[in-house]
Chains A and B, each alone.
Chain A
Amino acid sequence: MRQLPIWKPILVIAVSLLALYFALPTLYEDTPPAWLKGDKIHQGLDLQGGLYLLYEVEVEKAVEQDAESLVDTVKSVMRDARFRYRSVARSGVDRVTLRLSPESEAAKIEAALKKEVADVVITPKGADGFELVFTPEKIKSTEEFAVQQAIQIMRARIDEFGVAEPSIQKQGKDRIIIQLPGVKEPERAKNLIGRTARLEFKIVDDKNNEQALATGRAPPGTALYSFQDKGDGIAPGKILLKKRTVLSGKHLDDARPSYDQYNMPYVSVKFDRLGGRIFARLTGEHVNDRMAIVLDGVVFSAPVIREKIVGGQASISGSFSPQDAHDLAIVLRAGALPAPLKILEERTVGPTLGRDSVNQGINSIVIGGILVVIFMALYYKGFGMLANVAVVLNIIILIAVLAGMQATLTLPGLAGTVLLLGMAVDANVLIFERIREELRSGKTPLAAIDHGYGKAFSTILDANITTLITAIVLFQFGTGPVRGFAVTLSIGLVASMFTAIFVTRVLLAMIVRNRRLNKLSI
């Protein structure tokens, strides 16, 4: 006690200054001055407002689409080799059934298919056909690719939407977590991110349209699609389209919002070279037909083709607001999601609620802190003040570490801080009670201090380690705010051990160093 190694006070001072340096930017209301390089504490979505989304990529839809294109491939193989067959159709998520005519040569067909299609297991199905099933590896890679691509496309969309610090993470096999802090228009953001944006061009079957609408029955190769209400007087309803997609959004090069001569917003799209060629040929073949522009299965518009369109430009009109046109251009440019998204979890916190939470949280910390400080000063007098110094330093270290680690402070985290305040004094209470006991049993002040610290140490260690265990479990198994709470709790525990045991002791040693103690203020 009387011999205080010089490194101890130096360590205390160094830690205090360092903590203060990292904590200061957070403590500033506005922008901190330039010499303070540290970061502010990163506030969780529940504190700064924002949007948390958990999506599931419906990967089986991506497999289904693969199966659909397998149908096309099989058909073209059969056509090219002039094999006879009865039908080819998707017969499950990951399989296609080919039914042969009785006179077709099964062995030859099987050989031809094996040559043309990869990653598929071909098995005879009954006497008159084959079943083509994707291999498990193929399905797995399709699913993985769908999730990866979905992440990429979502990122592109969010980047264009403009969010300061978006976070997009993959979770598990087919889930994506998106966090958008500070988003002011959550509805719009959700629309933008979650939209599949599958763009298709299909030809209207005007010949059978009226009859189909009347009977509700579509001739083979066609289907009734719903027509979006455009607010242009034409009632929303159904329209009969040929099922085949003649051109898709895959061939888009660019999409931009624009205004027509009546100042109505529309989206102009530019095809890539192949797309431009297909579009020119298509419009050439279908002059005077109507071509439907279908977005996510809903017909946007179905203008009559007046002439062959070369140059690879087209426009999508509808009754857009300028914002709709802008957002549509973004999703078209970023591309269609490979599979639809299902929203599993969503949490939106408005900016005003976040601000209220921060204010209320800080108020309770300050008031709670003051109550504890007053109580400690009354109960333990001089030593109580020592504990108070430790508590204040504890909070500063907590803020500094949170800011330095770029950990996220959440509402339960803030509440955890309040709780820590109450518990932070515990180590000191243990020590001081011990010192009181030692004094009671007649020890000298200095011996009482030494014994007090010594005996309390293992208790403090055991008590804190067990609490730390719960914090770690919380962190491992909690989500979002709960994890934030666990982080705050763990840092606070470690910091309180340092301040309560080490710092108070060094301060004590510095105080009593040159004085002879007859009585302790405890």
Chain B
Amino acid sequence: MRFFNKLTDFDFTGRRQLAFMLSGALIVVSLLSLVTQGLNFGIDFTGGTLVQVRFEQNAPIVQMRQELDKLDLGDMAIQEFGDPREALIRFEKQGKDNKEQQELLGGVMGALEGIVGKGKVEQRRVEFVGPQVGDELAEQGLLAMLLSLGAILIYVAFRFEARFAVGAVAALIHDVFLTMGFFSLIHHEFTLVVVAALLTVVGYSLNDTIVVYDRIREEMKRLKKQPLGTVINEAVNRTLSRTLVTSLTTILVLLALLVLGGAVIHDFALTLFFGVVVGTYSSIFVASPVIMFMDKGKPSPLQGGKPTVESA
């Protein structure tokens, strides 16, 4: 079985203007979303308390809101979580010390038991992050992101050429940006786990980009006389089957994770899913064409065109 029966010769670089327009539009949408509604930062970054509870029956969300409102918990959000019987309560208020924190939680559980009766609600997960730690976690997340980009830049520049490194990092920033924009649009909670997923997307997308770059380098030696556009087209076409097969197998398992992995891992899987799709796109349409812009300062209109395959 194979996806393409013949050798493909899509003119990827010829359509780079279209691709850049598409990417540009998506980035604008992401930017708009990030600016207007921002990211829905979870307590990992904002500080606060999160309680996940499971009821014997469906979670009485409306009643919960009424009862918990009386406790004056500050900014509060209640939502169903994965299963209609489960609910996630997030609130801003924190106890000053150990004891107050305990009392706060005790109050929340007490209020819930008041609704459904004692023993009919189970506390499944509690997360509390102090504001100071939240800031530190955010800082570390950002630092990790920048450092890995820096390390990659150096590695690629060393193994390939500087312009390849610029292309790779441009593609990565593109992917991270779009994924964050996506998160802003769907308004899911942005947590530490999502940052881990984001970094994994970076890893995956880079993997894809490097494979194409490797081929470009190889084709550059083989097609010495050809314009860069032709070389890139040839490389992307030759690696297209591999790109699609690997994306497909990865997406297959991510689908399994999305459907069967449970609520806690859902956002992690969703981030990866979106990131793998974007990463695959960017390795073809962003990472490679960027090299052309970097080529001798400015792109020449003659550089596109159909690949000419020499007899091997």
Quote the shortest CB–CB distance from B120 to chain A (angstroms): 15
A425 x B246 contact (CB < 8 A): yes
Q: Which residue of B lies closest to A384 (CB)?
A: B1
B147 x A341 contact (CB < 8 A): no
**Which of A132-140, A481-489, A501-509 lines the interface with chain B?**
A481-489
Known: A343-B98, A346-B126, A477-B144. A371 touches B256 (CB 8 A): yes
Contact with B along A348-371 (1 / 0, CB 8 A): 111011001100110111011101
A364 x B253 contact (CB < 8 A): yes
| In the bound complex, CA of A464 to CA of B192 (Å) | 24
B101 within 8 A of A: yes
**Which of B9-17, B194-202, B296-304 lines the interface with chain A?**
B194-202
For residue B252, which residues in chain A have a CB less than 8 angstroms away from its CB? 368, 371-372, 375, 422
A447 within 8 A of B: no
| In the bound complex, CA of A412 to CA of B262 (Å) | 12
| Residues 187-236 (chain B) with a chain A CB within 8 angstroms | 192-193, 195-197, 199-200, 202-204, 206-207, 210-211, 213-215, 218
Kindly identify which residue among A343, A361, A473 contacts B261, using a CB–CB cutoff of 8 Å: A361
A191 x B102 contact (CB < 8 A): yes
**Which of B64-72, B110-118, B237-245 lines the interface with chain A?**
B237-245
Known: A375-B248, A459-B210. A415 touches B265 (CB 8 A): yes
A411 within 8 A of B: yes
For residue A465, which residues in chain B have a CB less than 8 angstroms away from its CB? 155
Kindly identify which residue among A340, A349, A473, A474 contacts B97, using a CB–CB cutoff of 8 Å: A340
Contact with A along B247-266 (1 / 0, CB 8 A): 01111111111011110110
A353 x B246 contact (CB < 8 A): no
| In the bound complex, CA of A414 to CA of B127 (Å) | 20
A364 x B261 contact (CB < 8 A): yes
A360 x B260 contact (CB < 8 A): yes
A430 within 8 A of B: yes
B312 within 8 A of A: yes
A482 x B98 contact (CB < 8 A): no
A458 x B214 contact (CB < 8 A): yes
A318 within 8 A of B: no
Kindly identify which residue among B52, B196, B261, B264 contacts A474, using a CB–CB cutoff of 8 Å: B196
For residue B152, which residues in chain A have a CB less than 8 angstroms away from its CB? 466, 469-470
Kindly identify which residue among B193, B211, B218, B255 contacts A463, using a CB–CB cutoff of 8 Å: B211
A433 within 8 A of B: yes
Known: A425-B246, A459-B214. A469 touches B192 (CB 8 A): no
B249 x A372 contact (CB < 8 A): yes
Q: Which secondary structure dominates where chain B touches chain A?
A: helix
| Residues 408-422 (chain A) with a chain B CB within 8 angstroms | 411-412, 414-416, 418-419, 421-422
Known: A345-B130, A376-B249. A470 touches B202 (CB 8 A): yes
B148 x A463 contact (CB < 8 A): no
| In the bound complex, CA of A348 to CA of B239 (Å) | 46
Kindly identify which residue among B95, B124, B155, B261 contacts A466, using a CB–CB cutoff of 8 Å: B155
Q: Which residue of A lies closest to B168 (CB)?
A: A466
B137 within 8 A of A: yes
For residue B52, which residues in chain A have a CB less than 8 angstroms away from its CB? 353
B286 within 8 A of A: no
B253 x A379 contact (CB < 8 A): no
For residue B246, which residues in chain A have a CB less than 8 angstroms away from its CB? 422-423, 425-426, 429
| In the bound complex, CA of A177 to CA of B240 (Å) | 48
For residue B195, which residues in chain A have a CB less than 8 angstroms away from its CB? 482
Most buried by A among B129, B241, B249, B268: B249
Q: Which residue of B lies closest to A434 (CB)?
A: B242
Kindly identify which residue among B54, B129, B140, B141 contacts A345, using a CB–CB cutoff of 8 Å: B129
B192 x A482 contact (CB < 8 A): yes
Contact with A along B83-126 (1 / 0, CB 8 A): 00000000000010111011001100000000000000011111
Quote the shortest CB–CB distance from A297 to chain B (angstroms): 11
B203 x A489 contact (CB < 8 A): yes
| In the bound complex, CA of A418 to CA of B128 (Å) | 28
For residue B127, which residues in chain A have a CB less than 8 angstroms away from its CB? 346-348
Q: Which residue of B lies closest to A437 (CB)?
A: B238
Q: Which residue of A lies closest to B130 (CB)?
A: A344
Contact with A along B126-140 (1 / 0, CB 8 A): 111110110001001
A379 x B147 contact (CB < 8 A): no
Quote the shortest CB–CB distance from A82 to chain B (angstroms): 43
A240 within 8 A of B: no
Number of B residues whose C-beta is below 8 Å from A? 80
B28 within 8 A of A: no
For residue A340, which residues in chain B have a CB less than 8 angstroms away from its CB? 97
Kindly identify which residue among A54, A381, A418 contacts B254, using a CB–CB cutoff of 8 Å: A418
For residue A260, which residues in chain B have a CB less than 8 angstroms away from its CB? none
A167 within 8 A of B: no
A70 within 8 A of B: no
A344 x B133 contact (CB < 8 A): yes
Q: Which residue of A lies closest to B258 (CB)?
A: A364
Contact with A along B144-157 (1 / 0, CB 8 A): 10011001100110
Q: Which residue of B lies closest to A422 (CB)?
A: B250
For residue B130, which residues in chain A have a CB less than 8 angstroms away from its CB? 342-345
B143 within 8 A of A: yes
B249 x A473 contact (CB < 8 A): no
A433 x B249 contact (CB < 8 A): no
B249 x A469 contact (CB < 8 A): no
B199 x A474 contact (CB < 8 A): yes
B126 x A186 contact (CB < 8 A): yes
For residue A352, which residues in chain B have a CB less than 8 angstroms away from its CB? 54, 122, 124
Quote the shortest CB–CB distance from B112 to chain A (angstroms): 14
| In the bound complex, CA of A191 to CA of B97 (Å) | 11
Quote the shortest CB–CB distance from B69 to chain A (angstroms): 24
Known: A418-B254, A422-B254. A470 touches B206 (CB 8 A): yes
Quote the shortest CB–CB distance from A394 to chain B (angstroms): 13
A415 x B124 contact (CB < 8 A): no
B206 x A467 contact (CB < 8 A): yes
For residue B202, which residues in chain A have a CB less than 8 angstroms away from its CB? 470
Quote the shortest CB–CB distance from B275 to chain A (angstroms): 11
Contact with B along A423-467 (1 / 0, CB 8 A): 101100110010011001100000000000001001100111111
A194 within 8 A of B: yes
Known: A343-B97, A379-B1. A411 touches B264 (CB 8 A): yes
For residue B147, which residues in chain A have a CB less than 8 angstroms away from its CB? 473, 476-477
B210 x A463 contact (CB < 8 A): yes
| In the bound complex, CA of A361 to CA of B159 (Å) | 37
B101 x A343 contact (CB < 8 A): yes
For residue A471, which residues in chain B have a CB less than 8 angstroms away from its CB? 203
User: What are some 14 contacts across the A-B interface (CB < 8 A)?
Assistant: A190-B102, A345-B130, A348-B127, A368-B255, A412-B265, A422-B254, A462-B214, A463-B214, A467-B206, A469-B151, A470-B206, A473-B199, A479-B192, A482-B192
Residues of A within 8 A of B (CB): 46, 54, 186-187, 190-191, 194-195, 340-350, 352-353, 356-357, 360-361, 363-365, 367-369, 371-372, 375-376, 378-381, 411-412, 414-416, 418-419, 421-423, 425-426, 429-430, 433, 436-437, 440-441, 455, 458-459, 462-467, 469-471, 473-474, 476-479, 481-482, 485, 489
Apart from A191-B98, A423-B204: 17 A-B pairs, beta carbons within 8 A:
A195-B98, A340-B97, A342-B130, A343-B95, A343-B128, A345-B128, A348-B127, A350-B123, A364-B259, A364-B260, A368-B255, A412-B196, A418-B256, A418-B261, A430-B242, A441-B312, A466-B156
Minimum-distance CB pairs A-B, first 10: A422-B250, A368-B253, A194-B98, A368-B256, A477-B144, A360-B262, A473-B148, A470-B203, A346-B128, A348-B126
